[in-house]
Structure 1
Amino acid sequence: MSDTTPPRYDVIAIGNAIVDVLSPCEDAVIAGLGLNRGGMTLVDADKAREIYAAMGPATERSGGSAANTLAGMAALGARCAFVGQVAQDQFGDVFRHDIRAGGIAFETPPLAGDVPTGQCLILVSPDGERTMNTMLGAGQFLHKGAIDDALVASAGILYLEGYMWDPVEPRAAMRRAMTAAREAGRKIAFTASESFIISLHRADFLELIDAGQFDILFVNEHELATLTGEADFETGLAAVAAKVPVLVATRSEKGAVAIAHGERAEVAAEPVARVVDTTGAGDQFAAGFLTGYVRGEPLERCLKRGAICASEVISHFGPRPETDMIALMDARL
């Protein structure tokens, strides 16, 4: 039964709750730990503790794809809530503090037991190269009992992070949230996250698309190719656009395309004086686009918002905005 009550939140998101820990490091330390210099590696809790113990003074910043998107939306004045799993530990406290300090509602109870909060331990070499070691931790154990159906129904859009489709328990949690959103007549947005996630769960995603379960789908051009099996970008767009009310496809320096109910819009990438760190570019593009979308703005303007947000985040380290985003939008739109 559809809920005609105006939404309390613009967006509620389900995603990984991760704390990024960044520390400058000599290459000898990276070699001694047996790490893949310049790469991203999934590690277990024991290895994460070993790496953390070897790190020097560090900067801790909350991360996670969907959480980053909400941080961008909140900076633009949107009303947001987050569902994600942390543990009863130091990093759980950091994540909880950061997301609430950003004006985002976060009430998921911490996970009891020995599983730590998810971390991405980032060792920065003298030449700026980043060696990333991710321990997903408690985030893999978000269970469907943590989903508050009434909370989901109180948001205009349910936003799902593709990374969370891989672990079994969060996948069940997201399916429950999708049912709650549909019963309340709310919209569902999905971000594909990474091509390797699509490769693992392509059949699921295609089934959901064919069934009309996604109102908004975010992909980059590589994810689109993996999803459709089409190397040609335009052919891939055509394969999905008829099945998803709003399709948004980003292309890095080539800009972005959106197709909504047959209407097509495109924008160029925003100019950036110097690209410092591309981490979070897709997350912030989604933040800008969704903020315009919930305000009923034209498709091209939504894309423009996304491009502005992406350009801001790649101009500095870290996946969340560090500028007055409302002022930036006022200056560029």
Structure 2
Amino acid sequence: DDDFLAFHGLTKGDSNILSVGDFMTLSAAVPVEAFNSGGAGANMAYTLAKLGQSVRFLARVGSEPAGEHFFTDMIGVGVMMVPPSREVRTLEILVLVTPDGERTMAQAQPPQESADDTWVEDRFLEDSRWVIVEGYAAAAHPAAATYAWQQTPEARRALLLPAPHACQDHAARLAELMDRFEPMVIGNYKEYEALLGAVPKVADVLRRVPHVITSSRGVARFIHEGQQEEAAPVPVDVPVDSTGAGDAFAAGFLLEYAGSGKGDVALKRGHQLALATLQKLGPRLEEPAQVWAEPLV
């Protein structure tokens, strides 16, 4: 509950960075109900693959059990991915879900920024229609993100904003990539607020790039070429778990928009997948195609 989060010094609804000792203390204090693969880009890739899309996921995971589990999950649904490596460590995150369905994340020792782009394999980039960069990857691997977009000038680009604290901590890096490559930007209200608070000039960039403001429980907006489209979700009294709802929204929006080009319909598709995700425990829909086949509200 909220008191538990406050006791451990956690900011509700955000991703919290802890010392190793505090992370171990927190881990011992909470029951683990499920062990899931996750991450915004990975959740999106998983959902798009489940919806029949050809997806290549460029990421590095370790060869420990967590990394092997992640890799098996992804290739199991047809996502192309490089095998686990002994050279890296898989990031593990605690996701705490309060009774109101809000998710709060905690992690120790986030990846250090790396200038290495040699692990980005060109075969993953060839003939890509969209190259989507996760905000955490852009912050930790700016050279790799830059290389991926430089090598794919014909592809559409999208940037998934990270959690508010990461938007704030890495605002300059994110702003630089947005200004240089002008991707479609996707994030929720809190993420945009954190980014704009840290680097106000981002507002100038957003005026010239398409951007989606997601909201799994409120009005979502798509702003592009001086126009704004909106869509409200079907209300949910008490969600089970908000983890992954924004990622499902992004997957639904991009898949529809890439096909039809209709922003209003794409927003509704985003809400459709987000709503289904809110009503279950865990970050991913196992049968998104069934949800996709339902009539849009």
Alignment TM class, shorter chain as reference: 0.7 to 0.9
- Name the CA shift for 1:204/1:194 in 2 (closer, same or farther; >3 Å): same
SS of the counterpart of 2:125? helix
Is 1:309 aligned to 2:282, yes or no?
no
Is 1:218 aligned to 2:189, yes or no?
no
Alignment check: 8 A CA contact 1:87 1:138 kept: no
Aligned equivalent of 1:179: 150
Shift of 1:147: 0.3
- Name the CA shift for 1:43/1:111 in 2 (closer, same or farther; >3 Å): farther
- The one-letter code sitting in structure 2 at the alignment partner of 1:181 is T
Is 1:68 aligned to 2:82, yes or no?
no
- Name the CA shift for 1:143/1:320 in 2 (closer, same or farther; >3 Å): farther
Q: What are the Cα deviations for residues 288-313 of structure 1, in whole angstroms up to 9, with x where unaligned?
A: 01111222341111111111111111
Q: What are the Cα deviations for residues 72-91 of structure 1, in whole angstroms up to 9, with x where unaligned?
A: 22222222111111112111
- Pick aligned residue for 2:242 from 274, 278, 281: 278
Structure 2's unaligned 5+ residue stretches are none
Aligned equivalent of 1:243: 208
Shift of 1:257: 0.9
- Pick aligned residue for 1:82 from 57, 60, 64: 57
Alignment check: 8 A CA contact 1:210 1:243 kept: no
Identity %: 29
- Name the CA shift for 1:152/1:229 in 2 (closer, same or farther; >3 Å): same
Aligned equivalent of 1:329: 292
Query: Number of paired residues?
Result: 289
- The one-letter code sitting in structure 1 at the alignment partner of 2:192 is L
- Name the CA shift for 1:154/1:142 in 2 (closer, same or farther; >3 Å): farther
Aligned equivalent of 2:107: 134
- The one-letter code sitting in structure 2 at the alignment partner of 1:316 is K
Alignment check: 8 A CA contact 1:36 1:131 kept: no
- Pick aligned residue for 2:82 from 88, 107, 116: 107
Larger radius of gyration: 1
The root-mean-square deviation of aligned C-alpha atoms, in Å, is 3.5
Structure 1 or 2: more strand by fraction: 1
Is 1:146 aligned to 2:115, yes or no?
no
Q: What are the Cα deviations for residues 209-235 of structure 1, in whole angstroms up to 9, with x where unaligned?
A: 333x133111222332333359xxxxx
CA distance in 2, matches of 1:66, 1:317: 19
SS of the counterpart of 1:217? strand
SS of the counterpart of 1:295? helix
CA distance in 1, matches of 2:263, 2:97: 39
Alignment check: 8 A CA contact 1:42 1:134 kept: yes
- Pick aligned residue for 1:209 from 164, 178, 185: 178
- The one-letter code sitting in structure 2 at the alignment partner of 1:175 is T
CA distance in 2, matches of 1:307, 1:120: 26
Alignment check: 8 A CA contact 2:139 2:173 kept: no
Shift of 1:131: 7.2
Shift of 1:254: 2.5
Aligned equivalent of 1:198: 167
- The one-letter code sitting in structure 2 at the alignment partner of 1:304 is K
Shift of 1:197: 2.3
CA distance in 2, matches of 1:241, 1:150: 31
Alignment check: 8 A CA contact 2:114 2:142 kept: no
- Name the CA shift for 1:92/1:51 in 2 (closer, same or farther; >3 Å): farther
CA distance in 2, matches of 1:204, 1:102: 33
Structure 1's unaligned 5+ residue stretches are 1-26, 231-235
- Name the CA shift for 1:50/1:195 in 2 (closer, same or farther; >3 Å): closer
CA distance in 2, matches of 1:219, 1:122: 19
Aligned equivalent of 1:59: 34
Shift of 1:174: 1.2
Decide which moves more: 46-55 or 273-282: 46-55
- Name the CA shift for 1:79/1:252 in 2 (closer, same or farther; >3 Å): same
SS of the counterpart of 1:96? helix
CA distance in 1, matches of 2:128, 2:117: 18
Alignment check: 8 A CA contact 2:101 2:242 kept: no
CA distance in 1, matches of 2:227, 2:202: 13
Is 1:261 aligned to 2:236, yes or no?
no
SS of the counterpart of 2:221? strand
Matches within 5 A, 1:283-294: 283-294=247-258
- Name the CA shift for 1:129/1:280 in 2 (closer, same or farther; >3 Å): closer
- Name the CA shift for 1:198/1:35 in 2 (closer, same or farther; >3 Å): closer
CA distance in 2, matches of 1:37, 1:208: 29
Aligned equivalent of 1:19: none
CA distance in 2, matches of 1:218, 1:126: 27
